[in-house]
Structure 1
Amino acid sequence: MNLSAKDLPELQSELSEQLGQVEELLLESVQGSGDLVDPLTSHLAKAGGKRMRPLLVALCGTLGPNPEPEKLVQAATAVELTHLATLYHDDVMDDAPSRRGVNSAHIEWDNNRAILAGDVLFARASRLVAALGAEAVDFHAKTFERLCLGQLNETFGPQGGEDRVEFYLQVLADKTGSLVAAAASFGALYSGASDEVREAVALYGDRVGVAFQIADDILDLVSSAEVSGKTPGTDLREGVDTLPVLLLRRQAAEGKGDAEVARILDALAGDLSADEDLAQVVSAITNHPVMAQTRQLARDWVDKAIDALAPVPDGEAKDALVLFANSMIDRVA
């Protein structure tokens, strides 16, 4: 997740230095357990990633009058370690073959080791948070609880007459928005910002997280394998209903779907193991108006995130947060 020096002329050097320190502490934190364990626990960290959450900690760390650089680095690293831990677990639950252009940990080492590696990373995140004090420990625990409940609720699915699209958006908020909100909140806390500003950026982060995941749903369909590291439509093949599909199902349930919607849903119910069959369904969805509707929903969530920044004083830091939010959907424009 890059914001250029042109976008942030005064913040860029400060952010670069802090993010470099986060990267050093992150790579140190995913190692240190010996030759058998280190390759596993460092697998995804070394594979890359956007480092969106550490960047948000750094940005919000400029909002207050008394930034604490060491605590900002520790908090940013802890949030990223927590995120990494969830990726190990998610890939096991989803039986995902790859992540960040490399084989998933459970493919390389098996399910048990991948799960335990995620546990180790969460333990190391917890140790970093413990050094920040009781308030940070409580906040981090509540964030992780919400994240896990979001994942758990997803396994149960919507109940009774619950709207599937609204349920899905709430799952995105709980699974992704919660940790993005934590990143923003930690940054504001260790900048000395007011409680009002901290609450504002937490709400902002929650909404940015939803927009980010909606954009990911779009990218699953439109990104090439070279860019995303996975075959377009991988979620469809795995039977995962992402937002475009849920919107199509809603149209059909409300009697608003046309023949093309029916054809797409029929295809999704079939066997998509062949690349040609998958490519046909992906093409049908990407050429359907539902993609414009999905992009608009991502835009709406970004706009709501920016609206949440109203209590934040005007300045370069706030401008940077607006740019950060817009970057969530610039990649699918």
Structure 2
Amino acid sequence: MTSSAPSTRIASKLGLSDRIFAGPRSRRLLSTVEAGLERVDAALVRELAMADSLANATSRYLYDAGGKRVRPMLALLTCQLGDGATDKVIDGATALEMTHLGSLYHDDVMDAADKRRGVPAAHEVWGNNIAILTGDLLFSRASQIMARHGEAAIRLQADTFERLVIGQMHETTGAQDDDDPVEFYLRVLADKTGSLISAAARTGLTFSNGPAELEGALTVFGEKVGVAFQLLDDVIDLSADPDETGKVPGTDLRAGVPTMPYLLLAQRSDTSATALRERIDDGVAQIADGADPELLDDALAELRDHESTQATLDLAHRWSAESIDALAPLPDGAVRDALTRFARAVVDRSR
């Protein structure tokens, strides 16, 4: 196993550098953020190393498979509002990325996902128990890193982790009779995705001694851009090209996990929408009983081209616009420009 960190070039990680760092002011940030990402990746290699050979292999598995490093990048952007990429900022960004990695091990078990980042999911390689325990290991290491920086850092990690767990619990149980399914799902996204992205934006600011009065704006920005990001992922999840997602198209729906296109489809009462929803529901039930997941291919292809998927895309753009509005208190400059372009770019990814 190599001990060197993989490339963290934003162009390769996100494919968004030309958009996020467009213009002379933002482009001056590029080398600074790149250098910070190299430091985060080096820290991840160091912190993921385990003395136990099995734990070492499983803990590095999804890290070695790649990843966008969205959360560290946001921390490295917002820290420019303070003292820059201090060692404390690098530690915070590393801990939050490890928390994100740990959540992926758990998510793939709970969703019965076959692939992650273009490789077999960890539970497909080592089984559910080892995958879950690996996630736990990463959560533990992340907490150890935060503990180096005092009570406030520990509380940030603990509060974020609590929201991740609650979001997963709610996704698992599903909306109840008195819940609006769409609003319920948006709350799940805010907990499961928005909370961690928000924590990253806040970490960059607070760990670099940035202006405390900007924390609220970055909290809202992170929450909303996180929801927008996940809504667009719901659209991409239906992509006909598995290379786009690193997963089998429609993985979530095949596992019985509703996504926004399905929820918006279920709100429609026209005959074609009702028939499509019934086909999906029937297919999910058959898959749960052991049928070949490919039986849903045609129905999911139809959903991909349905108006409800376009409505999901429109909703993602609305949340992105609201995240940009939240940036109003930030000073005019390269950081605000880059965050604005990031919010636009996350909902303009290829389907």
RMSD of Structure 2 on Structure 1 (CA): 1.6
| Residue equivalent to 2:296 | 278
Cα distance in structure 1, aligned partners of 2:223 and 2:177: 26
**Alignment partner of 1:288 is 2:306:** yes
Q: Alpha-carbon deviation of 1:276? A: 5.9
Whether the 8 Å CA contact 2:237–2:250 is kept in 1: the answer is: yes
Pick the aligned partner of 2:186 from 169, 180, 185: 169
Whole-Å separation in 2 of the counterparts to 1:282 and 1:95: 18
Cα distance, 1:79 vs structure 2: 0.4
Decide whether aligned partners of structure 1 residues 306 and 223 sit closer, same or farther in structure 2, where only a CA change above 3 A counts: farther
Task: Show the counterpart of 1:210.
Answer: 227
Instruction: List aligned pairs for 1:42-191, cutoff 5 A.
Output: 42-64=60-82, 66-191=83-208
* TM-score under structure 1 length normalisation: 0.94
Counterpart residue number, 1:321: 339
Q: Determine the structure 1 residue equivalent to 2:276.
A: 264
Identity %: 43
Q: Distance in 2 between matches of 1:326 and 1:136?
A: 30
Please list the CA deviations of residues 70-126 of structure 1 after superposition, one character each: whole Å capped at 9, or x if unmatched: 111111100000001111111111221211111111111111111111111111111
Aligned residue number for residue 254 of structure 1: none
Give the alignment of 1:25-44 within 5 angstroms: 25-44=43-62
Q: How far off its partner does 1:172 sit? A: 0.3
Give me the whole-angstrom Cα distance separating, in 2, the residues matched to 1:141 and 1:113: 23
**Aligned AA for 1:268?**
I
Alpha-carbon distance in 2 for matches of 1:308, 1:271 = 41
Shift of 1:274: 4.8
Deviations, residues 47-67 of structure 1 (Å, cap 9, x unaligned): 001110000000111122x23
Partner of 2:261: 244
State the 1:157 CA deviation.
Answer: 1.8
- Structure 1 residues 290 and 127: CA distance shift in structure 2, 3 A: same
* Alignment partners' CA distance in 2, 1:223 and 1:317: 35
Aligned to 2:218: 201
**Shift in Å at residue 223 of structure 1?**
4.7
Stretch deviating more after TM superposition (280-289 or 144-153): 280-289
* CA displacement, residues 261-299 of structure 1 (integer Å, 9 cap, x when unaligned): 022112112236556642211221122211221111000
Cα separation, 2, equivalents of 1:200 and 1:83: 22
- What does residue 8 of structure 2 align with? none
Given that 2:266 and 2:274 are in contact with CA atoms closer than 8 Å, whether structure 1 keeps it comes out as no
Q: What is the TM-score of this pair, normalised by structure 2? A: 0.89
Report the CA distance shift for 1:250/1:27 in structure 2 as closer, same or farther (over 3 A): same
The answer to whether the Cα contact below 8 Å between 1:218 and 1:332 also exists between their aligned partners in 2 is no
Change over 3 Å in CA distance of 1:158–1:19 after alignment to 2: same
Shift, 1:6, TM fit: 4.2
Task: Work out whether residues 57 and 183 of structure 1, in 8 Å CA contact, stay in contact via their aligned partners in 2.
Answer: yes
Structure 1 CA distance for aligned equivalents of residues 293 and 255 of structure 2 = 13
Structure 1 segments unaligned to the other structure (5+ residues): 252-256
Give yes or no for contact 1:18–1:69 (8 Å, CA) kept in 2: no
Task: Measure, in 2, the Cα distance between the counterparts of 1:62 and 1:99.
Answer: 32
Whether the 8 Å CA contact 2:146–2:157 is kept in 1: the answer is yes
Q: CA deviation at 1:35?
A: 2.2
In 2, distance between residues paired with 1:112 and 1:283? 33
